[in-house]
Amino acid sequence: MSIIEFKGVSKAFDSVKVLDGLDFKVEKGEILAIVGPSGTGKSVTLKHIVGLLDPDRGEVTVEGKPRIGYLFQSGALLAWLTVYENVALPLKETTRLKEDEIDRLVRDALKEVGLEDAAEKYPGEISGGMQKRAGLARAIVRKADIVLYDEPTSGLDPVTTITIHRLIKKLNRDHGITSIVVTHDIQGALHLADRIMLLKDGKAVETAKVDEFVHSANPAVQEFLTAMKGEIK
């Protein structure tokens, strides 16, 4: 069953077309990576799923009423709250759980992402990788059905990048979280995702299983992979 579906979605800003008849589906429980050049509308696509943007044309459907977690490209921890308080915040605001139940959920989630010793620190006192992990802990406590990751590893070193990818995979496997990962890290995407979508000129020029994607006869895919190889070296 598709949990998310884009049907002919177009979106322009000041008459500049960003999405131009975008079609794709996301199946429940899968990890879809979205790759593509800068400014091609990857973040705009995610914003349509959370409802931060509406299409000019076409339709975005999200099956049922899933809880959606969104790891922003810019990061979104509140600087004046500790890691613990940041993770507890959605539970305090949206549930009637008792203090001790919240405490248990938050501690468990922090442990799951390896941040149990950083609970009392403020976002400004921890590394970028730890901030991302705090964002993941928040998705766990909210029992998110879908998590949208906008460049979850940008600015992180290779070792931390692998840690974050493992966590994304773990959340997907252990909590059944359907995941969309927007990334410039093509190697990471190949390891992480079930399927990859290349977004270019406002359209999904290819959406395929990882092994099919790398062997795709689509010239746009090969061009993209070659360009990325150049960047990796």
Ligand X SMILES: Nc1ncnc2c1ncn2[C@@H]1O[C@H](COP(=O)(O)OP(=O)(O)OP(=O)(O)O)[C@@H](O)[C@H]1O
Quick one: tokens of 153? 């590893």
What distance in Å separates the CA atoms of residue 122 and residue 192, rounded to the nearest whole number? 30
Candidates 15, 38, 74, 226: give the one binding ligand X (CB under 6 A). 38
Dihedral of CA 55/58/64/68: which sign? negative
9 binds ligand X (CB under 6 A): no
Candidates 40, 172, 179, 183: give the one binding ligand X (CB under 6 A). 40
Least distance from C-beta 197 to ligand X, angstroms? Answer: 12
Considering only the stretches 39-47, 126-134, 190-198, 205-213, report the one whose residues sit in contact with ligand X under the rule CB under 6 A.
39-47
Considering only the stretches 35-43, 80-88, 115-123, 192-200, report the one whose residues sit in contact with Mg ion under the rule CB under 5 A.
35-43
* Burial call 125-147: b when 16+ CB within 10 Å, e when fewer: ebebbbbbbbbbbbbbbbebbbb
Of 49 and 102, nearer to Mg ion (C-beta) is 49
80 binds ligand X (CB under 6 A): no
Of 42 and 142, nearer to ligand X (C-beta) is 42
Measured from the Cβ of residue 124, the count of other Cβ atoms closer than 10 Å reads 9
15 binds ligand X (CB under 6 A): no
What distance in Å separates the CA atoms of residue 233 and residue 229, rounded to the nearest whole number? 6
Candidates 35, 43, 70, 216: give the one binding ligand X (CB under 6 A). 43
CA 102 from chain center: how many Å? 25
39 binds ligand X (CB under 6 A): yes
Q: How is the beta sheet containing 16-27 ordered, strand by strand?
A: 16-27, 2-13, 57-62
Q: Using an 8 Å Cβ cutoff, are 145 and 114 in contact?
A: no
Amino acid at 74: S
What distance in Å separates the CA atoms of residue 185 and residue 136, rounded to the nearest whole number? 19
The binder of 178, among Mg ion, ligand X, none, by C-beta within 5 to 8 A per type, is none
The binder of 13, among Mg ion, ligand X, none, by C-beta within 5 to 8 A per type, is ligand X
Of 40 and 163, nearer to ligand X (C-beta) is 40
43 binds Mg ion (CB under 5 A): yes
Contacts with ligand X by CB under 6 A lie at 13, 18, 38-44
